[in-house]
């Protein structure tokens, strides 16, 4: 079942014994209890904890504003296996391990461990201040305006590599090479197809690892991996969260209504995500750079698409006039 279907099923509040919106397989009452234990475990370590429903924001000490994001995937899996009266000690053990891992990586990993855990990861615009990017992450690349960096995944915790960490990975080019190789070797997540009434469809890949959206930076490798034929009108992409990637080829009969539906889908898929990324759409065709396809509206001028693509959308159907949901303020890691 795709995320959109799961959200639709969980939106109606059914009381404390109904399904929780954010932690699958838990009732609202049990999920609130588990979140409470997790927040207490964070505070017991001397940090501040802010319960946001889908995640906890950790601040204090090295976790400077806007804070680190602590999700519930690991703790919920382990909590499901033990009685509820054991959740307190379990949360203390798991949260302690996750935070210790976050603090340890990458400085305390050896070169082999570091290279094996590398992957490309976007930073949502504004998440890392521009002055900090210019000072500590000078190797960062830009894809449609979003900073792309190298991160390391260790024991369910992820951390960006700063310039000072690159030597241990073998240097800038070696770090990028290892990150891309790890991305390709891991493959894509589970696919879900969202079909429109006219037969067109958006394929969304969902993974528990935050590398999924990084495929947007490697569209040639992506379509090659999928065996997908992208024609002269290119393809549209969405990356509503680090663990989600959507793609829809643009055909001669693709209309602006389909673009609108994809925008709506991106907004729905971004709900409740621990690491949201963008509600914008992106466009690419072979031989060209990835571009932002949408900024604030649905007419050709504001879509930001190349003129030939915009004209094709116009010719295929009337241009929509309804506004688009504003891009949210992201809190990804």
Whole-angstrom distance, CA of residue 47 vs CA of residue 109: 24
Closest CA to 150 of 104, 242, 158: 158
- pLDDT score of 175: 94
Of the pLDDT bands very low, low, confident and very high (cuts 50, 70, 90), residue 302 is: very low
> Average model confidence (pLDDT) for the chain?
81
- pLDDT score of 1: 59
Q: Which of 52-56, 99-103, 175-179, 267-271 has the highest mean pLDDT?
A: 175-179
For residue 245, which phi and psi values (nearest 5 degrees)?
-145, 125
For residue 274, the Cα-to-chain-centroid distance in whole angstroms is 8
Q: Give the dihedral sign, CA 130/132/135/136.
A: negative
For residue 64, the Cα-to-chain-centroid distance in whole angstroms is 21
What mean pLDDT is predicted for residues 36-64?
88
What mean pLDDT is predicted for residues 188-199?
83
- pLDDT score of 82: 95
* pLDDT at 10 > cutoff 60: no
Report the percentage of the chain scoring pLDDT > 70: 80
Q: Tokens standing for 6?
A: 């799961």
For residue 89, the Cα-to-chain-centroid distance in whole angstroms is 30
Q: Are strands 56-60 and 63-70 parallel, antiparallel or unpaired?
A: antiparallel
> How far is the CA of 251 from the CAs of 32, 248, 313, in angstroms?
46, 9, 9
* pLDDT at 259 > cutoff 70: yes
What mean pLDDT is predicted for residues 171-183?
95
Give the three-state DSSP class for 172: helix
Which residue is listed with tokens 């680090």? 242
Beta strands in the chain (DSSP E): 48-51, 56-60, 63-70, 118-122, 141-143, 146-154, 157-160, 190-195, 201-206, 235-238, 244-249, 281-284, 291-292
Report the percentage of the chain scoring pLDDT > 90: 39
Q: Tokens standing for 291?
A: 């571009």
Helices vs. strands in the chain: H and E counts, helices first: 11, 13
- Residue, of 258 and 312, whose pLDDT is higher: 258
Q: pLDDT tens-digit profile of 108-139?
A: 678 888 899 999 999 887 778 888 888 888 99
Q: Tokens standing for 257?
A: 């209504």
Q: Tokens standing for 195?
A: 């079909």
What mean pLDDT is predicted for residues 202-226?
93
Asked if residues 118 and 152 have their Cβ atoms less than 8 Å apart, the reply is yes
Q: Tokens standing for 239?
A: 């990356």
* pLDDT at 18 > cutoff 50: yes
What mean pLDDT is predicted for residues 144-162?
85
Which helix (H) or strand (E) segment is 240 a member of?
A: none
What mean pLDDT is predicted for residues 40-46?
91
Give the three-state DSSP class for 91: helix
Which helix (H) or strand (E) segment is 6 a member of?
A: helix 3-10
Whole-angstrom distance, CA of residue 249 vs CA of residue 253: 11
* pLDDT at 200 > cutoff 80: no
Of the pLDDT bands very low, low, confident and very high (cuts 50, 70, 90), residue 6 is: low
What does pTM read for this prediction?
Answer: 0.70
- pLDDT score of 144: 92
Q: Tokens standing for 164?
A: 């000072």
For residue 14, which phi and psi values (nearest 5 degrees)?
-120, 25
Of the pLDDT bands very low, low, confident and very high (cuts 50, 70, 90), residue 258 is: confident
For residue 14, the Cα-to-chain-centroid distance in whole angstroms is 29
What mean pLDDT is predicted for residues 27-43?
94
Of the pLDDT bands very low, low, confident and very high (cuts 50, 70, 90), residue 236 is: very high
Which residue is listed with tokens 């990356």? 239
Which helix (H) or strand (E) segment is 301 a member of?
A: helix 300-303
């Amino acid at each position: 079942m795709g995320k959109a279907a799961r959200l639709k099923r969980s939106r109606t509040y059914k009381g404390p014994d109904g399904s929780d919106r954010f932690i699958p397989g838990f009732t609202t009452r049990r999920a609130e209890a588990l979140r409470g234990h997790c927040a207490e475990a964070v505070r017991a370590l001397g940090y501040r904890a802010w319960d946001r429903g889908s995640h906890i924001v950790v601040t204090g000490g090295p976790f400077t504003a806007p804070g680190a994001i602590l999700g519930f995937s690991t703790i919920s899996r382990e909590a499901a296996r033990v009685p509820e009266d054991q959740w307190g000690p379990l949360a203390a053990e798991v949260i302690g391990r996750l935070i210790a891992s976050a603090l340890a990586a990458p400085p305390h990993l050896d070169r082999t461990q570091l290279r094996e855990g590398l992957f490309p990861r976007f930073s949502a615009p504004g998440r890392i201040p521009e002055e900090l990017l210019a000072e500590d992450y000078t190797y960062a690349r830009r894809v449609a305006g979003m900073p792309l960096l190298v991160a390391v995944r260790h024991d369910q915790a992820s951390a960006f590599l700063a310039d000072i960490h690159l030597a241990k990975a073998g240097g800038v080019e070696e770090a990028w090479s290892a990150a891309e190789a790890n991305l390709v070797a891991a493959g894509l997540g589970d696919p879900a197809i969202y079909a429109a009434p006219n037969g067109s469809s958006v394929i969304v890949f969902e993974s528990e690892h935050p590398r999924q959206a990084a495929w947007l930076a490697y569209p040639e490798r992506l379509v090659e991996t999928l065996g997908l034929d992208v024609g002269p009108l290119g393809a549209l992409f969405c990356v509503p969260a680090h663990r989600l990637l959507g793609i829809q080829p643009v055909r001669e009969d693709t209309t602006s209504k389909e673009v609108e539906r994809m925008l709506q889908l991106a907004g729905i898929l971004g709900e409740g995500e621990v690491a949201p990324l963008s509600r914008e759409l992106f466009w690419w065709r072979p031989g060209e750079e990835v571009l932002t396809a949408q900024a604030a509206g649905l007419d050709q001028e504001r879509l930001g698409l190349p003129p030939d693509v915009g004209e094709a959308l116009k010719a295929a159907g009337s241009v929509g006039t309804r506004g688009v949901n504003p891009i949210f303020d992201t809190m990804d890691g």
